[in-house]
A and B are shown apart, each in its own frame.
Chain A
């Protein structure tokens, strides 16, 4: 305790340990841990992206070009696992770590040491997962969903399963921490229905994480025992059923899809009001729409399995339940557009990404509606149409929202403005190339090109070449993103103001830029006019 007594909490830039190891490996500070998450996520984004480049290079021309088929399958599998568990999810956790305490006026996360553990599990989990690429049997290559019996025949299953266990533990602890923070650490006066939509989106996402990550752990544990201990969960000769795995996996997998998009909804709901200079349209509707989407996510899982041979009643139920999701999602899109309606808009980089999100995510939503139709899905299933659909919601949806958030909050994190010119170059380069990359895949899928196959009919040659060119272009564009971040962190001379954006509201803009090591050591006095949703009417 003597140490604590001499600790200086008054100077903004002090309080951070000076020793590198102490500061970053033993941290209990939500900002430092958030930074670690974000750096990890950026690294995983480039690792997963390089796997995607291999895929697009192989598919540039028909015929076997560069890699062996098994290696191609390793690339599709690892690309998905790295992007989902390494890039998208840790990015959202990092953003939540950084921003939630600032947004609700808390000094830190509720359980700071567990927070550090949640992060530090991840590098080890990914070391385990990626090391399989260099092992004699190769890495898992049965797709990220790891359907048996195929996944039981590909390499290094035990490593992948344990890596997933570790990631699951990390996610569950992170989610518990976020729930405890939001429910227990809000400053007095920060009522639940005054919280920023981003905080609401994370509260609900955290609930989804705690509910479904253990189910994934159960599913992969059954794979493990089926392969190594002779159980028969997925073995028909022993009375099991491979389809059972698909049910358990997608009971996790569908809420997981929303885990990767609900925080994105929250981010867009922060950015659009700031640059439209209007409060968000229909705040309560936005919150309840997120909750409704989360609820529905538990009763739609079998729409991933329409072609597997389900009873008719199940197909019809899951088709209608799936289409129901478009109602709350439509509410959200309508409200974002209504927020912009009549606003005095400016188009800084975060806003550009947010608007691109709204348009392109909606395209992904529409192709999702097409996939929800059982008879149509019989044609689309396992084609590039599905690939196009989920890349529109995950790349131009989740990843674009993360980029928007990075530009939006980077000045608050670093105290410097990023280069608006290069931000805009990054945006336009990305938004054009991503459509060159993924839009043709709709046509490929409708024409019948199957996914996860390294070779294809020459009839698909032109669109594949266009898609690959878009892919390399999109990949290269992200180097601009890296450059903009590095410039803003270390080289930018332009100081950010506390408010940063003229129309920004919320507690996070009341602290200095860069945000000091410790903030809100005393609960802030909350004035409703400072909040984006201070005056919520019924």
Chain B
């Protein structure tokens, strides 16, 4: 457990960091081995990556358990609380920059790469000699690129499932805020209801997202391989979906912790960190809905 040193709290030694380093290594080694394997030799990599993921889950469980125990023991003073808050805020900032790279790729492909391939700007010769019949546009006709990589496809209509998903995520933002206010007021029943609703809304979002992917692959022929349109569409929505998955799991854990009475009116950083994360995921979705689906 941690120890109070003079005016400060400095946590004692822990084996979780090195366990974390090992399981992360096992996971990526398995993944790399799998990807680099000759056909028919992938099973070793797959086994290793599975082992790695199990290890990561156990590591998170163990590390968070020890942190929660220290927190419940009252070891974390306000300075530790501030460090945690800063850690979470800067972590979310790094996530914003990660999505920024993919949004940047989307904007560059739409505003420069595809028009230039169609003969605009300084791409005149490429167009003339390689793909003179390519009429640049985004979406169904031009988004597969001049080579029509992945075959012709149709795009997902924004005003169906994507709109519904937007409303779901926006609603979940409201429910988690209500839960937060309930937490500050000390109404445990109300927290459980509204936090539970948030978890359900997250899961519903994921269900619809999966439905949309299946439809895209089976009926629209829109796949990850559908030129740069398919690449940006699935990488952006896919990474977002992974973050929603993670966020939903985090919310579910927080729900269980509320059930066990881990949080008090003025000491509930775990709840707030997950709420921040959830809002971040929400905002990213609004960017996706605008730039990937509508425009």
Q: Which chain A residues have a beta carbon within 8 Å of chain B's beta carbons?
A: 1, 3-4, 7, 9, 17, 22, 25-28, 106-108, 110-114, 116-117, 120-121, 123-125, 127-128, 135, 137, 156-159, 161-163, 165-166, 169, 172, 175-177, 179-180, 183-185, 210-215, 217-219, 221-222, 224-226, 228-233, 235-241, 243-244, 247-248, 251, 309, 311, 518, 521-523
Contacts and interface: CB of A to CB of B under 8 A. Distances in A.
Query: From DSSP, what is the main secondary structure of chain A's interface residues?
Result: helix
Interface stretch (B177-185, B225-233, B266-274): B225-233
A239 B112 CA distance: 10
A36 to B, nearest CB: 11
Contact of A1 (B24, B73, B86, B142): B73
B25 A172 contact: no
Question: Which 10 A-B pairs have CB atoms at the shortest separation, nearest pair first?
Answer: A218-B101, A239-B145, A237-B147, A4-B3, A521-B6, A238-B149, A231-B231, A214-B98, A162-B28, A124-B25
B87 A231 contact: no
B1 A1 contact: yes
Nearest to B91: A176
Interface in B59-103: 73, 79, 82-84, 86-87, 90-91, 93-95, 97-98, 100-102
Interface stretch (B29-37, B212-220, B287-295): B29-37
Contacts of B169: none
Given A26-B18, A159-B36, A176 B90 contact: yes
A163 B105 CA distance: 23
Contact of B104 (A22, A28, A157, A248): A248
28 contacts: A9-B6, A25-B18, A26-B18, A112-B10, A117-B21, A120-B20, A121-B25, A156-B32, A162-B31, A176-B94, A210-B97, A211-B94, A214-B98, A215-B97, A215-B100, A218-B100, A219-B101, A225-B231, A226-B231, A229-B224, A231-B234, A231-B235, A232-B230, A237-B149, A238-B231, A239-B227, A521-B7, A523-B7
A489 to B, nearest CB: 23
Contacts of A26: 13-15, 17-18
B104 A128 contact: no
Given A26-B18, A107-B8, 9 more contacts: A3-B1, A158-B35, A165-B28, A214-B100, A222-B101, A222-B231, A238-B231, A239-B113, A247-B104
B146 interface: yes
A165 to B, nearest CB: 7
A101 to B, nearest CB: 10
Nearest to A229: B224
Given A214-B98, A239-B228, A179 B90 contact: yes
B134 to A, nearest CB: 9
Contacts of B82: 180, 184
Contacts of A108: 8, 10
Contact-residue size bin, chain B (C-beta under 8 Å from the other chain):
35 or more
Given A113-B17, A128-B28, A176-B86, A211 B93 contact: yes
Interface stretch (B114-122, B249-257, B277-285): B114-122
A180 B86 contact: yes
B3 A241 contact: no
A518 B93 CA distance: 32
B16 interface: yes
A93 B3 CA distance: 25
Contacts of B50: none
A184 B86 contact: yes
Contacts of B95: 214
A225 B224 contact: yes
Contact of A232 (B1, B4, B98, B149): B149
Given A111-B83, A113-B16, A210-B90, A237 B109 contact: no
Interface in B104-137: 104-105, 108-109, 112-114, 116-117, 121-122, 126, 130
Most interface-central of A123, A184, A238 (chain B CB within 10 A): A238
B104 A113 contact: no
B135 to A, nearest CB: 12
B21 A124 contact: yes
B144 interface: yes
Contacts of A228: 35
A214 B97 contact: yes
A117 B12 contact: no
A417 to B, nearest CB: 30
Contacts of A233: 105, 109, 228, 231-232
B240 to A, nearest CB: 13
A217 B17 CA distance: 22
B17 A238 contact: no
Most A C-beta atoms less than 10 A away, residue of B22, B108, B142: B108
Nearest to A216: B101
A202 B278 CA distance: 30
A113 B11 contact: yes
Contacts of B143: 239
B18 A116 contact: yes
A161 B150 CA distance: 25
A124 B104 contact: no
A83 B272 CA distance: 40
A216 B13 CA distance: 32
Greatest chain B CB density within 10 A among A124, A125, A231 is at A231
A169 B144 CA distance: 33
B136 to A, nearest CB: 8
Task: Name, among A9, A158, A213, A311, the residue most crowded by chain B CB atoms within 10 Å (CB to CB).
Answer: A158
A215 B142 CA distance: 27
B8 A521 contact: yes
B149 A215 contact: no
A156 B91 CA distance: 30
A470 B1 CA distance: 54
B235 A225 contact: yes
Given A239-B113, A239-B228, A241-B108, A28 B32 contact: no
A4 to B, nearest CB: 4
B32 A159 contact: yes
A22 B15 CA distance: 8
Nearest to A236: B117
Nearest to A24: B18
B36 A156 contact: yes
A238 B232 CA distance: 12
A1 B29 CA distance: 38
B31 A158 contact: yes
Most buried by B among A120, A125, A157, A161: A120
A183 B86 contact: yes
Nearest to B70: A1
Contacts of B150: 230, 232, 238
Contact of A121 (B13, B24, B113, B142): B24
Contacts of A113: 11, 14, 16-17
